[in-house]
Amino acid sequence: MKNFLKQIERLENNEIDHFIINREFTVLNKDIIKSIILSGSFNPIHSGHRSLLEYVSALLDRNKYYEISIMNVDKPSLSIDELLLRIPNFSSDEKIIITNSSKFIDKVKIFPNTCFVVGYDTAVRILDESYLSDNETLDEFLNMVSSRNCFFIVAGRVDENGKFNNLKSDQIKEKYRSLFMIIGEEDFRSDISSTDIR
């Protein structure tokens, strides 16, 4: 635990950009290679998260990681107390990356050669220029994704009215469609959500 708290302090002081832990708060000294990363607040983690990451891992033959950013675009920053509550809900074999990077433009810089697993809502935000910094454009961001050899795999989700929504290729500029792999509803669907559990 002492090492975990030290890493959080280093993260907050921008001395490091990430570290990896397990549910026991053991800091893991591992390189992140051939990775798929599912980012979220995981409040709490549930079977939908796990089955999605497992599906993509089997599909692409890549190593699985969860990522929690202590900063968030749409929500308050995560406190250490919140992390102490959430991390033990992971399984013993699951690896959790802790970052201070709330935006995908930062995640892409930190984790090259990575497949980022996102849900429909997040995919829509990724393609929404208003979520970028004032001096950034969507073209610059997606060119960065490409240059870092990253891409997104998108899973649909059910809205509050029971309608299944997913990204459509015509929502993406043609030159960037290769950066988005869309999972069809017939291939993967999970209707569980952290909000419902809470």
For residues 115 and 34, the answer to whether their CB atoms sit within 8 Å is no
Closest among 157, 180, 163, 172 to 49, alpha carbons compared:
157
The whole-angstrom separation of Cα 119 and Cα 19 is 24
Q: What is the pLDDT of residue 134?
A: 80
DSSP class of 113: S
- Cα gap 151→80, rounded to integer Å: 30
| DSSP one-letter code for 178 | G
Reply yes or no on whether the pLDDT at 197 is more than 90: no
How large is the average pLDDT for residues 74-89? Answer: 89
Question: In whole angstroms, what is the distance from residue 115 CA to residue 62 CA?
Answer: 9
Q: Where are the alpha helices (DSSP H) in the chain?
A: 2-12, 47-60, 80-86, 104-110, 120-126, 138-147, 194-197
**How confident is the model at residue 152, as a pLDDT?**
98
Q: Give per-residue pLDDT as tens, 47-80.
A: 999 999 999 999 999 999 999 999 876 667 889 9
Q: Is the pTM of this model over 0.85?
A: yes
- Whats the size of the chain, residue-wise? 198
Structure tokens at 97: 């990356």
Indicate the CATH number of 2-197 among 3.30.70, 3.40.50, 3.30.530, 1.10.3470: 3.40.50
- What CA–CA distance (Å, rounded) separates 31 from 196? 35
CA distance 11 to 15: 6
Q: Which helix (H) or strand (E) holds 77?
A: none
Statement: residue 96 has pLDDT above 90: yes
Closest to 6 measured CA to CA, from 86, 29, 89, 15: 15
Which pLDDT tens digit goes with each residue over 113-172?
999 999 999 999 999 988 887 888 999 999 999 999 999 999 999 888 888 999 999 999
pLDDT range class, residue 194, cuts 50, 70, 90: low
Residues 33 and 187: their CA atoms lie apart, in Å, by 26
